[in-house]
Structure 1
Amino acid sequence: MLKWAVELGQFDLEYMPRTTIKGLALADFLLEFDSEADDKALVVSRPSHTEEVLEEFLHPWWILHVDGAVNNGGAGVGIVLVSPEGHHLMSAIHFKFYATNNDAEYEALINGLKIALGMGARNLIAKSDSKLVVNQVNGGFQARGPWTELYLRYTQRLIGKFKEVRMECVPREKNSNADALAKMGS
């Protein structure tokens, strides 16, 4: 942060870190001040698709980007949760315990799932740049080692609390916000 303060100082700009907003407080704020909520109505023209349309309307898709990072300063994760309306909730977490790269990736996913559950998400697309974690969660790879098995079981238990979760592996450049937050957290 000192580097940014020095860089921005020459332009008479002052760096002020963002304050954190608790996820539930933000959700309460959005619900409380949604003036158009009373004006909305669902009109379905085709009775054969009523359930599908109603389900999509009641439980829209959220997008979760997660990444973990480990370096000499420790381990951290970056989480970006995007609401169906396009609002970005970002979190960087620093861990005060030893973690491998794979541990950090699982920690990022677990914490992201918990945040999504706290925000009331029912349908979720989770994106990570860790092929190993994505394939283990999707059932393509076996989890080896006691810690990895515990992480996988806990992740699957959290996923079971959603209506539907799609796990996708994305290239690092398409996960840049979560990657930057993870580096900042570590």
Structure 2
Amino acid sequence: MAEEKDAFYVVRKGDVVGIYKSFSDIQPLLASSDPYSSGGRAFNVSSSSRNLQGAIQFDTGLAGSFSYPPNSLRNHTLGGSQAEWSTCLSCTLHFDGASKGNPGPAGAGAILHDGSKVYRLREGVGIQTNNVAEYRSLILGLKHALKKGYKHIIVQGDSLLVCNQIQGLWKIKNQNMGTLCAEAKELKDKFLSFKISHIPREYNSEADAQANLAINLRACEVQEDCQLL
């Protein structure tokens, strides 16, 4: 395969994503006795000659956006080693907010899991609207994921407003929403890769349960449970 001057290669094994500057770096992965899978999980390889300074987006088969922040590419692609990428941690975050009265007593709930353990998070947010609670739940989950050292994250929630505003698809008219959205975006840019997508409410029941429990907590009080899978 001929290599372009600015080409790079994206390799995905399950939820772990690596970026390599040279095709020769990924040949050992493809030269094994079962070159396209490991443990039943497929390798996906794609390439691009897009300038590495820009954000990269590609479709992974789910609704939403999947992006590499420009700083992450600059810091971790050109200077990072294969070992660094192979040990990056991936996780999935489900978030939901609840408000009794809208505005009224509100809570934020989040479920964070990586296939080996699951974190159940809840935070009291005081008297707030449902939209504020939704943003607070996303922020709660992102902060926790960063604290635990995760580098790649897939986010799902049933708030169309939050999902679309984070992706820049909907305008933000409320100043409070703008502040919360800016905080969430600042957090998401700290990951090497970030994907957010909207899901139906019936597929978000666990995060919803945590949000309803959080209504009974004091404002800014956070509780966490961890379970090994």
Asked whether the two chains share a fold, i.e. TM above 0.5, the reply is: yes
Work out which of the residue numbers 121, 145, 165 in structure 2 matches 1:136: 165
> Is the 2:95–2:111 contact (alpha carbons within 8 Å) kept by the matching residues of 1?
yes
Q: Which runs of 5+ in 2 are unaligned?
A: 1-26, 32-44, 46-76, 216-229
Aligned to 2:207: 178
Query: Which structure shows the higher helix fraction?
Result: 1
> Is the 1:62–1:81 contact (alpha carbons within 8 Å) kept by the matching residues of 2?
yes
Question: Residue 44 of structure 1: CA displacement?
Answer: 3.7
- 1:71 maps onto 2:97 in alignment: no
Question: Residue 46 of structure 1: CA displacement?
Answer: 3.1
Runs of 4+ in 1 over 4 A off after TM superposition: 51-56
Q: Which amino acid aligns with 1:91?
A: L
The SS at the match of 1:94 is: strand
Q: Which amino acid aligns with 2:134?
A: E
Per mean C-alpha deviation after superposition, the further-off stretch among 176-185 and 64-73 is 64-73
- 1:62 maps onto 2:88 in alignment: no
> Is the 1:78–1:180 contact (alpha carbons within 8 Å) kept by the matching residues of 2?
yes
Aligned to 2:113: 82
Q: Which amino acid aligns with 1:169?
A: H
| Identical columns (%) | 32
Q: Which has the higher contact order (CA 8 A, sep 6+)?
A: 1
Question: Residue 159 of structure 1: CA displacement?
Answer: 0.8
Q: Which runs of 5+ in 1 are unaligned?
A: 1-42
Aligned to 1:154: 183
Separation in structure 2 between the aligned mates of residue 133 and residue 149 of structure 1, nearest angstrom = 11
TM-score (structure 1 length as normaliser): 0.69
The SS at the match of 2:92 is: strand
Question: Residue 129 of structure 1: CA displacement?
Answer: 0.4
- 1:104 maps onto 2:88 in alignment: no
- Number of residues paired by the alignment? 140
Question: Residue 58 of structure 1: CA displacement?
Answer: 1.8
Question: Residue 56 of structure 1: CA displacement?
Answer: 5.7
Query: Which structure shows the higher strand fraction?
Result: 2
> Is the 2:94–2:111 contact (alpha carbons within 8 Å) kept by the matching residues of 1?
yes
Residue-by-residue CA offset, 1:56-100 (whole Å, 9 max, x unaligned): 6322420001100001571001111002x331100122223x211
Change in 2 beyond 3 A, CA 1:140/1:93: same
> Is the 1:44–1:53 contact (alpha carbons within 8 Å) kept by the matching residues of 2?
no
